[in-house]
Structure 1
């Protein structure tokens, strides 16, 4: 490979034209110049050159030789001779195969303006210095910085402006809103290298995110914690009360049924709610409270029940929810044994006014800060250390976007380093239509090609592709579909751990009404309860429902499981958006279940749907495959979200 991209003097639009079966190649070639015809021949022959020693040199020599042949034929033969030769040898299928190899071989098209400028020619012949020159011109990372040790690194102009602010005022808090692919992690690395005399604490939402970041940072003086680990650390330091380690109560698999919660805490029936349903409602109230900026549980946290409660009934439900909160976070009886999740601990930490991060840390750096809950953000804003947070509100998958305090400095980075300009139309439709905020539009990288392909029907891909779905239901549906088709596929690592448990729990719940253990199903005591809770627009669920009603069994699932490639190296990969959050993927296909429906006025659900599509779409480096109606869907959902003031 060369250390620069090889640019061929033909545009993507011209290549698209040749891919259309109804277009006559001979008539098209008659209108094209010699260099464009030479590029067609080179692309068609890429499969024969790929993998050969020094293939990049051979390919560039090929374009140079063909342009020279075309120029010489122009001098000695009638007009159109070179076009006839290329047309006689043109093979549309071979051209398509060669085109699919271009990104792998670091070969790109030129835009129409650059083709018209003809800076790739010296006279009538190929300029071997052009590609390096053009790569340097397009490369957005042009601004050079130096570390204390004398090493140098480059940043884009937007990154550089933000970085200079960090350098000039390292002891001031700041929040950087940086769109996907703009180099947040790269800036964190460089920032830590700059803070040579400091002891930073790096925070991230999940252990996977944190481990990946710490591996890239690779500096011994830097410590790292997840948000939940930080809550444990802070609560242990609180001198006002002894902190009881949660033990197994903090394990994700530790569950207590609503009926058992009601029995242990003495909940009684309220209106039409039996004690178990009261416990379920209280759990939702506590969760809402934990993800809010409020200091007490009140009537506003009561979920929709399908009927009204009078004032007394509401007060009793609030009282029970407070009992659940108190016995979860500071139990008076260990026999209650209630699950204690990370969001419980983070909320408790935010309510302890004297709780702070110790002075052993001089700076707090938050990666993927869009995952901060309101309590976590408010806690960090009161810490004495400068807090530097980098995140992207467009990636908040639950739609509950938190904000740093109003007095915190804000900066915005919108220039993508990862994706080409072709994705702007798709991604910006999701940014601009999001009802939860207003942000600057994504600017793609002119130095990258990220092809966008629209589909009318979601067929199984024929080339290496990662299919991203919305939820476990989409995962179940596509798993069964790929297995039935005999496709070679594997699951993304994040989807592997609980996938089998989810499927078997579904089958058990449908057949024997057995209480599931999977967290996505645990609250349902019967398949009818689950069915009633599912929106009509969730087509993946309803397809699974029909499959189970036709007799799909655990034996059928285990047979399909044999089709799964356990090595993870299969050409087709399948996962949820949440499984791919911090990944960069060559080719991404957005499954149709990502484009669901939302209730009128539900801005949070709409924002969540937009976030899933945006997060999935911005994982793509070379190709993004999307439903053809995506932009129309985004406009419709945006209008629908504004119909009432929810």
Structure 2
């Protein structure tokens, strides 16, 4: 007998997959009949989370299987198709799969899928090619351009424009002056932020609540009122261009303009030259939608089926949004991705969230997810997906992998952000060139940035050392010259933000995700959501920092 071989074999079980019975299951002895003989139906009971779906199979020629929870949700929606509903579902509980199945059961020609961005709409159309999936910005633009309900002009010319307006140019357009310690360009920049916050809100007017908190320090009341006046002028210019002043329009501008009309999604719309009816609306990732989007959905006459997970809202939700008290609600709590052995880990994390869970997270009884505690900054020897909270640690991770000649792929959105940030950082350090990246703005120098942010971003000290030791643009390009996404036997590196809507065989949660909010000056909601979303990407193996759960006690 070789105990090491037995242990190695047990560790391979989740990948085969072979699921071992828990101690509780063994003690229950359901695998035996009352007379002590073998219960041959026990295997079938334990082997699958799924059963044939009565609700879906009437619409399909093939047999579709669902979990009991999925079946209840689908049956509720299909039996009362004219009633809106909100589905709060934990990560990996089958929300996206249900949406795909609904596209088959409902009328494809009149069901409209709406999402925040084109990445999400592409995910939907990849799964269901015959479906119509549009962004909220696009449908808002259609409504505003064909109907005189709004006051926004020349929408498509400005929305599709790649034109950018510098803070200096915007200050000229707004005819603004310096306010307090802020020069004209900085005032224009602050006005952009105010308009952005206003557009995300469901507020009718721009008010002091939309001003960045840092602006209140060292400014008088009249300084704040002056900024509001400039922001109102900017919003007016965005809606109705003046002669020779035509500002670009972004998606959140269109959404806000439609929300202000108190009208919802149109009952019919022109898309690709075809006039289409819209009788039902399906929305995924509702937790990421702004209050202005929820405002539009609230005013829509069609039944809206909302799917989401408050705990995956990486911006940090403290109260549920988008669900009027009278709206029907259903919950999905049974994961078909993570094993039942992770339940304690998930629930310990979720209970720290400001929105207290109504039901516990339940793992799959037919799967097992191995949880491994690892030392700080340790990259696993086996290929896996490494997820961070912030963009900064990614540079150190790929620097380490590059020095070991290991293959790695950087998630595309993280790669673009990292290139922009580190190029700006190098130029800021070497030449003092004013950075464009938001993380570096409003600092007098690179030294000033390091002094003010080292406590907030622990990885900065190593990055500072790397830049001071001679990291240049060419060397950065070498680090970013990663392997293609499809390359087998390679690490995948990105932020939790980049990994949304994805799942991976093996995941390493990076150390910056385990920082206590007491030290990171971050809201508990944000911290919990990042950790929970990160761990829920893992299917078979999950590496977590060895003291992560201890640090959660600081909440």
Q: Tell me the TM-score normalized by structure 2.
A: 0.88
The one of 311, 316, 327 aligned to 2:237: 327
1:586 alignment partner, SS class: strand
2:94 alignment counterpart? 183
The yes-or-no answer on 1:303 pairing with 2:201 is no
1:627 alignment counterpart? 545
Q: Out of 299-308 and 623-632, give the one that drifted further.
A: 299-308
2:462 alignment counterpart? 543
The yes-or-no answer on 1:609 pairing with 2:518 is no
The yes-or-no answer on 1:472 pairing with 2:391 is yes
Q: 1:267 to 1:570 in 2, by over 3 A?
A: farther
2:505 alignment partner, SS class: strand
The yes-or-no answer on 1:425 pairing with 2:344 is yes
Q: Out of 604-613 and 621-630, give the one that drifted further.
A: 604-613
Equivalences for 1:190-201 in 2 at 5 Å?
A: 190-196=101-107, 199-201=110-112
1:261 alignment counterpart? 170
- What is the Cα deviation at residue 378 of structure 1? 1.2
The yes-or-no answer on 1:156 pairing with 2:73 is no
- What is the Cα deviation at residue 307 of structure 1? 2.2
1:348 alignment counterpart? 257
Equivalences for 1:101-500 in 2 at 5 Å?
A: 101-115=12-26, 133-142=42-51, 144-145=53-54, 146-196=57-107, 199-218=110-129, 220=130, 222-240=131-149, 241=151, 243-247=153-157, 255-304=164-213, 305=215, 307-335=217-245, 337=247, 339-354=248-263, 356-359=265-268, 360-400=277-317, 402-500=321-419
Structure 2 distance, partners of 1:255, 1:597, is: 39
Structure 2 distance, partners of 1:247, 1:98, is: 62
Q: 1:117 to 1:404 in 2, by over 3 A?
A: closer
Cα RMSD (Å): 3.0
Q: 1:195 to 1:560 in 2, by over 3 A?
A: closer
In structure 2, list runs of 5 or more residues that go unmatched. 269-276
Q: 1:499 to 1:371 in 2, by over 3 A?
A: same
Relative contact order, higher structure (CA 8 A, sep 6+): 2
Structure 1 distance, partners of 2:489, 2:427, is: 30
Aligned residues: 538
Contact 1:466–1:572 (8 Å) recurs in 2: yes
Structure 2 distance, partners of 1:254, 1:528, is: 33
- What is the Cα deviation at residue 615 of structure 1? 1.1
Structure 1 distance, partners of 2:517, 2:12, is: 40
Q: 1:508 to 1:452 in 2, by over 3 A?
A: same
Q: 1:195 to 1:515 in 2, by over 3 A?
A: same
In structure 1, list runs of 5 or more residues that go unmatched. 1-85, 639-646
Determine which structure has more spread, i.e. the larger CA radius of gyration: 1
1:80 alignment counterpart? none
Contact 1:537–1:596 (8 Å) recurs in 2: no
- What is the Cα deviation at residue 173 of structure 1? 0.8
Q: 1:566 to 1:108 in 2, by over 3 A?
A: closer
- What is the Cα deviation at residue 135 of structure 1? 4.8
Contact 1:461–1:572 (8 Å) recurs in 2: no
Q: 1:108 to 1:291 in 2, by over 3 A?
A: same
- What is the Cα deviation at residue 308 of structure 1? 4.0
- What is the Cα deviation at residue 588 of structure 1? 0.7
- What is the Cα deviation at residue 295 of structure 1? 1.1
- What is the Cα deviation at residue 249 of structure 1? 5.7
- What is the Cα deviation at residue 446 of structure 1? 0.6
String of CA shifts for 1:123-143, please: whole Å, max 9, x gaps.
xxx98x96x852543523236
1:449 alignment partner, SS class: coil
Q: 1:95 to 1:329 in 2, by over 3 A?
A: farther
- What is the Cα deviation at residue 418 of structure 1? 1.2
